């Protein structure tokens, strides 16, 4: 006799094994949003760490640091929500599609971002648009320069995401998507791995590298506003003033003798003239 219960059990196990993973819409539910918020806090803390790791003489002021890192924040949010939108288009397991997008952004996309920053920097330098140079905001820093640089950086990010989306249209990615997270049976564990652990490690490296591309390279160890430079200026002016006083005092001491000597020299010709005139009268 054929046992139908065994057939239904085997089919149910097969379907459950095939259907494990993130459900459609899992990236934007309450747990997914919580994981994304935690990722944002932890990832951008690496930029804080990078600032304090900078040499003290080259460390950026907080306002300049905010202008530099906020461009990355806007670009990263755009890439993140674009990946979430594209992943939700998948019928099954959007987490694996999100991970594929993210890994391509971190590899091929990183190369595209580097090329875009270099290309725009060359054009800006050729056209002499100083305020559009990445990391240059004027003195004092101007918000208009920051807005212009944000617009240029967003153009780079749109270009990067467009190229990555076209790459994903190449046949063969669906097979990789099926086996990418196939060994993880728990959907929430897969979500934490895809939305927190892997993005944190990769974003920490990306933020560090891109911030080095966008920041201004400060070569002076001390700025004119630093207390060390102001003290050195005061000491140098004091030394110059003392030297000038010594020179004036030495000049005043030598003037009377020189004037007396010059007077003697001047008096001798007058005596000679008087003697000559008296001699002529006698003759």
Please give the Cα distance from 164 to 138 (Å, whole number). Answer: 35
pLDDT by residue for the chain (283 residues), tens only, comes to: 444 443 333 334 433 434 455 777 777 778 888 888 888 888 888 888 888 888 888 888 889 899 988 998 899 899 989 998 888 887 667 888 888 888 899 899 999 999 999 999 999 999 888 888 888 888 888 899 999 999 999 999 999 999 999 998 887 776 776 666 677 777 778 888 888 888 888 888 888 888 888 887 654 443 444 444 444 445 455 655 665 665 566 555 555 454 444 444 444 444 444 444 454 444 4
pTM: 0.65
Pick from 78, 82, 86: which is nearest to 153 by CA? 78
Residues 186-199: b if buried by 16+ CB within 10 A, e if exposed: ebeebbbbbbbebb
- Which region holds residue 222: left if phi is over 0, alpha if psi is between -120 and 50, else beta? beta
Cis omega (within 30 of 0) on the bond before 140? yes
Backbone angles phi, psi at 152, to 5 degrees: -65, -40
């Amino acid at each position: 006799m054929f046992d139908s219960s065994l057939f239904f059990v085997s089919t149910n196990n097969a379907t459950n094994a095939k259907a494990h993973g993130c459900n459609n819409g899992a990236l934007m539910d309450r747990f997914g949003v919580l994981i994304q918020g935690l990722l944002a806090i932890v990832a951008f803390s690496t930029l804080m760490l990078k600032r304090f790791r900078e040499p003290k003489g080259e460390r950026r002021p907080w306002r300049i640091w905010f202008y530099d890192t906020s461009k990355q924040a806007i670009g990263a949010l755009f890439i993140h929500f674009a990946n979430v939108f594209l992943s939700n288009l998948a019928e099954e397991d959007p987490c694996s599609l999100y991970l594929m997008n993210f890994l391509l952004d971190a590899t091929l996309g990183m190369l595209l971002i580097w090329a875009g920053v270099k290309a725009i920097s060359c054009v800006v330098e050729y056209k002499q648009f100083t305020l559009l140079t990445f990391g240059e905001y004027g003195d004092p820093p101007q918000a208009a320069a920051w807005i212009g640089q944000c617009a240029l950086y967003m153009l780079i990010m749109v270009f990067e995401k467009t190229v990555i989306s076209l790459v994903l249209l190449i046949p063969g990615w669906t097979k990789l998507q099926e086996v990418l997270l196939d060994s993880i049976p728990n959907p929430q564990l897969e979500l934490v791995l895809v939305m927190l652990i892997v993005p944190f490690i990769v974003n920490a490296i990306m933020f560090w590298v891109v911030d080095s591309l966008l920041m201004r390279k400060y070569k002076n160890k001390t700025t004119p506003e630093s207390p060390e430079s102001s003290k050195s200026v005061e000491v140098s002016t004091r030394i110059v003033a003392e030297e000038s006083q010594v020179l004036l005092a030495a000049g005043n001491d030598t003037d009377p003798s020189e004037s007396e000597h010059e007077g003697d020299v001047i008096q001798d010709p007058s005596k000679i003239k008087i003697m000559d005139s008296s001699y002529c009268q006698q003759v």
